[in-house]
Amino acid sequence: MLIPTDLRYSNDHEWARASGDVIRIGITDYAQDALGDVVFVDLPKVGTAIDARAALGEVESTKSVSEIYAPVGGTVSAVNESLRGAPESVNADPYGEGWICEITTTSGADFDALLDAEGYAALTNN
C-alpha cells in the first residue's frame, strides 16, 4: 500500500495536500483498495462551506457506497470534473488524477491536526 510522505491523512482514510490555503483532497490507496472498483463519485458543489469531518460526497463501488469526509474545514473551491466520466481514476491513481476536490481553508489548524504518513501507516497497520 502506498502512503506518500508529503501528504497528511484523516482517520477516515482521506488524504490532504496543502498548497498555501488550498487543500487538495482524495481517498487513500488503502480506501480505494477496500472499496474495490469505483463506479461513481458524488462530488461536492463548488462554493459549499464545509466543516472539518463533515460528509462532502460519496464514492460508490461495485462493493458498497462510502462517505467522503472533509479532513479540513473551509469552502469547496474546485472539484475534479474528470471523475464524472472516469471515476475509475480513484482506483488507478488515488494520489494524482483521482483527487476529489479542493477546499480553501482559513485556518491551518485542521490540516496540522491530521496524521502524517507514519501515523497513518500505524492506523492501517502498514
Q: Which amino acid is at 120?
A: Y
As a whole number of Å, the CA-based R_g of the chain is: 13
Q: How far apart are CA 65 and CA 51, in angstroms?
A: 21
Q: What confidence tens digit (pLDDT) does each residue in 45-98 have?
A: 999 999 999 999 999 999 899 999 999 999 999 999 999 999 999 999 999 999
Mean pLDDT of 19-30: 97
Domains annotated on the chain, with CATH: 8-116 (2.40.50.100)
Strands annotated E in 10-85: 14-19, 22-27, 38-42, 49-50, 55-61, 65-69, 74-79
Q: Name which of 30, 93, 36 is nearest 59 in CA terms.
A: 36
What pLDDT does 104 receive?
A: 98
pLDDT range class, residue 15, cuts 50, 70, 90: very high
Write down the pTM of the prediction: 0.95
Mean pLDDT of 36-40: 97
What pLDDT does 117 receive?
A: 97
Q: Over the chain, what is the mean pLDDT?
A: 96
